[in-house]
Amino acid sequence: MRVFIKTFGCRSNIFDSEIMKNILKDKVVNNEKDANLIIVNSCAVTNFAERDLRNYINKHQDKRIILTGCSAYTQGKKLFEEKKVQAVLGHKYKEEIDKFLDFRGIKLGDFNFKNSKILKSISTTKAFIKIQEGCDFECAYCIIPKVRGYSRSIDEKIILDEVRALRDIGISEFVLTGINMGSYGKDTGSSLSELIEKISKIRGVKRIRLGSLEPSQIDKRLIELTQNGILERHLHIALQHTSDRMLRIMKRRNRVKPTLKLFERLADMNIALGSDFIVGHPGESEEVWEEALENFKKYPLTHIHIFRFSPRDGTLSATMRQDVRGDIAKKRAKILSDIVKKNNYNFRLKNKDKELLVHIEEIKGESSFGYDEFYNKMEIKKRLSKGEWVRVKNYQVKEINVKE
């Protein structure tokens, strides 16, 4: 049997797909045309994501298809009844995927599981390490708690063993990820900061990057660890909006005054700061937008991931009156993007005299590309090797489009 694994969505899905590849080993092929079975590890975060999923499945009806991932819970039954897929599996069965290659039917299971298998091989220069699953937050626009379950932490020993195993095959950069990774340890008596500290002490680990965190999950110890030379000097802290009125509508837990104070403190420590922002959510009137924009300008953001709201079936926000036109949301997104683009340029100029540590991830022609410790991409006009670490100084700062 020849298996191709198609991955949609988040870093947790990327990790899960790598686990399935490790399990299936020699059965895995690198493209659809060489496969007789496609495992689709799906994303359900937006209606658009599920549209892309359906388009992909329709395109490959000449193959046997197993659907797993978040859309197994939202679209699985329908796709199975339409005979578009031959099997639907819940998240908990990804680590037993070798037992289900011939399975036909629907088996979702429950969310009472924690990942227990570790990655022992990977084809990239850095490794995504899933440390946590599920989410206890109930934001109005988000379907994820319904398709991932409550928050639960992966056993610390498993994570540390995984880092060591990947270190032994030459991986030196680790990106910690999860569905709500800042809640790591609350069910085990530990914390994200404690875990980072232990990973930092493993010989051979050169850089730790973090996925998205909630403002309430940034503690004093985590801030201190950004100075240890291993934890990236860049934190992505999800705001989603900068109007308290909008945040209440979204059922968010953060508020402007305390988060602004946090961001200012971190910026004073020369930490690059990223965030998420949703424009066009129901209730974002012109008055709310103007308030949000004035507040947004105060945040020292260097990176931004902007979403234009689209209603996600099965969420509270989808039941609200959609009162922001698409062209207005697009215009607002551009305004925010331009502000952060300028912030990022100024941040890089401020750090121009600093020596930067760059991890090479891509080679194009005679140039090598990688990211520094502030999560800014750098071009080095020299052919290096993927995975190589380079110290760079006397570099040129250019204006670029900034995204995460």
* CATH, residue 334: 3.80.30.20
Q: How far apart are CA 388 and CA 286, in angstroms?
A: 49
197 is a domain residue? yes
Pair (137, 240) in one structural domain: yes
Spatial contact of 118 and 130, defined as CB atoms under 8 Å apart: no
- Pairing label, strands 37-42, 3-7: parallel
Pair (146, 102) in one structural domain: no
Pair (92, 19) in one structural domain: yes
Can you give the pLDDT of all 404 residues of the chain as single tens digits?
Answer: 999 999 999 999 999 999 999 999 999 999 999 999 999 999 999 888 999 999 999 999 999 999 999 999 999 999 999 999 999 999 999 999 999 999 999 999 999 888 888 888 887 889 999 999 999 999 999 999 999 999 999 999 999 999 999 999 999 999 999 999 999 999 999 999 999 999 999 999 999 999 999 999 999 999 999 999 999 999 999 999 999 999 999 999 999 999 999 999 999 999 999 999 999 999 999 999 999 999 999 999 999 999 999 999 999 999 999 999 999 999 999 999 999 999 999 999 999 999 999 999 999 999 999 999 999 999 999 999 999 999 999 899 988 765 54
330 is a domain residue? yes
Pair (95, 158) in one structural domain: no
Q: How far apart are CA 130 and CA 115, in angstroms?
A: 9
Pair (213, 297) in one structural domain: yes
Could you list the residue range(s) of the whole structural domain that residue 283 is in? 127-348
Amino acid (one-letter) located at 210: L
366 is a domain residue? no
Q: Which two tokens stand for residue 168?
A: 């032994």
Sheet containing strand 87-89, edge to edge, reads 3-7, 37-42, 64-69, 87-89, 105-107
Pair (136, 271) in one structural domain: yes
Give this prediction's pTM.
0.91
Pair (212, 263) in one structural domain: yes
Pair (14, 148) in one structural domain: no
Pair (61, 21) in one structural domain: yes
328 is a domain residue? yes
235 is a domain residue? yes
Helix axes 156-167, 192-200, angle to 10 degrees: 30
Pair (103, 189) in one structural domain: no
Report the sign of the C-alpha dihedral through residues 138, 304, 375, 226, in that order. Answer: negative
DSSP 271: -
Bridge partners (DSSP) listed for residue 177: 130
Question: Could you give the 3-state DSSP secondary structure of residue 360?
Answer: strand
* CB-based contacts of 279, cutoff 8 Å, min separation 6: 306, 307, 308, 309, 324, 329, 332, 333, 336
Pair (232, 94) in one structural domain: no
> What is the per-residue pLDDT across 124-174, written as a single tens digit (0 to 9) for each?
889 999 999 999 999 999 999 999 999 999 999 999 999 999 999 999 999
Amino acid (one-letter) located at 343: N
> Read out DSSP for 160-197?
HHHHHHHHTTT--EEEEEESSGGGTTTTTT--HHHHHH
Residue ending a domain, choose from 309, 330, 348: 348
* CB-based contacts of 294, cutoff 8 Å, min separation 6: none
120 is a domain residue? no
Domain count, the chain: 2
Spatial contact of 255 and 247, defined as CB atoms under 8 Å apart: yes
* CATH, residue 102: 3.40.50
Q: How far apart are CA 236 and CA 277, in angstroms?
A: 12
Pair (231, 342) in one structural domain: yes
